[in-house]
Amino acid sequence: MARSALLNVMVQAALKAGKSLARDFGEVQNLQVSLKGPGDYVSQADRKSEKIVKDELMKARPTYGYLGEETEGEIKGTDGAHRWIVDPLDGTTNFLHGIPMFAVSIGLERNGEMVAGVIYNPATDELYTAEKGGGAYVNDRRLRVSSRRSLSDCVIGTGIPHLGRGQHGKYLIQLRHVMGEVAGVRRMGSAALDLAYVAAGRMDGFWEEGLSAWDIAAGIVMIREAGGFVSNLSGGTDILESGSILAGNEHTHKALLDVANRPIPKA
């Protein structure tokens, strides 16, 4: 597996930030936790990780634009074609509860298209990487989405809107439709890892709405490079801006799209 210089920059940034997260994991009492809104936590660990990633990326490519969850506003680059999209800690709620399902997620966009992604879970030391045209990997192993066809054999991931997020009613209808068709539904608490798990064939599909670009940027290229399909919940290509995502293999993507969009049953 040969990585480009750019992908190496992303990998180094993710590993360095991951080390910082690993040191802070389990130290919640020292982490200055605050709320951005109901159910929406941020801590010193998120901010430290973001500083590490941002410094590494900006040092390597100072002209690129930068969008990060814990950086106020977007930094417009002088190079109009490239933009880093960063979630320094995806799965903050898990992290603060001692649940080892969290990740650093770094995506690179070129002319509006996701071309590289790195997702790193320091708790399991799993490093997911993908580059457009170069395949997707976990550590040194090539990734491939699952080949299951029938939803009744499938495990499907999702994200449940948290306290303070609207759309609970709409979500429950989607869930009711999906759970009636599949072998099992999982809610793991990190959208970046959810997408990496679909790319790895561990889960057969995933859907969530109300996300931000940094939750899913790296995962989009990961899924595509693992042979999977990804769209928004209406089947359209506007994923990053809409924050709506549905992913799977060629069979499950289509089937899940159908099921998640079934009309509300009449009472």
> Which positions touch Ca ion (CB under 5 A)?
69, 87, 89-90, 215
Q: Which of 50, 90, 131, 209 binds ligand IPD (CB under 6 A)?
A: 90
**Would you say 56 or 90 has its CB closer to Ca ion?**
90
State in angstroms the smallest separation of the CB of 93 from ligand IPD. 6
CA distances 224 to 17, 74, 230, Å, are 25, 26, 7
* Least spacing, CB of residue 107 vs ligand IPD, in Å: 14
d(CA 201, CA 249): 9
Residue 159 site contact among Ca ion, ligand IPD, none (CB < 5 to 8 Å, cut-off depends on kind)? ligand IPD
Which residue's structure tokens are 């930068």?
Answer: 66
- The smaller minimum CB distance to Ca ion, of residues 93 and 149, is found at 93
Query: For the stretch 247-258, what's the b/e string if a residue is b when 16 or more beta carbons lie within 10 angstroms of its beta carbon?
Result: bbbebbbebbbe
Q: Contact between 211 and ligand IPD (CB under 6 A)?
A: yes
Q: Could you identify the residue written with the tokens 């109300």?
A: 210
DSSP 14-37: HHHHHHHHHHHTT-GGGS--EEEE
Question: Residue 104 or 259: which CB sits closer to ligand IPD?
Answer: 104
Residue 257 DSSP label: H
**Contact positions with ligand IPD (CB under 6 A) in 237-266:** none
Site membership for ligand IPD, residue 87 (CB under 6 A)? yes
Residue 159 interacting with ligand IPD (CB under 6 A): yes
Q: Could you tell me where the DSSP H helices lie in 164-203?
A: 168-179, 191-199
Residue 50 makes contact with ligand IPD by CB under 6 A: no
Segment near ligand IPD (CB under 6 A), from 19-27, 86-94, 166-174, 249-257? 86-94
DSSP string, 46-70: HHHHHHHHHHHHHHH-TTSEEEETT
Would you tell me which residues interact with ligand IPD (CB under 6 A)? 69, 87, 89-93, 159, 189-191, 208, 211, 215
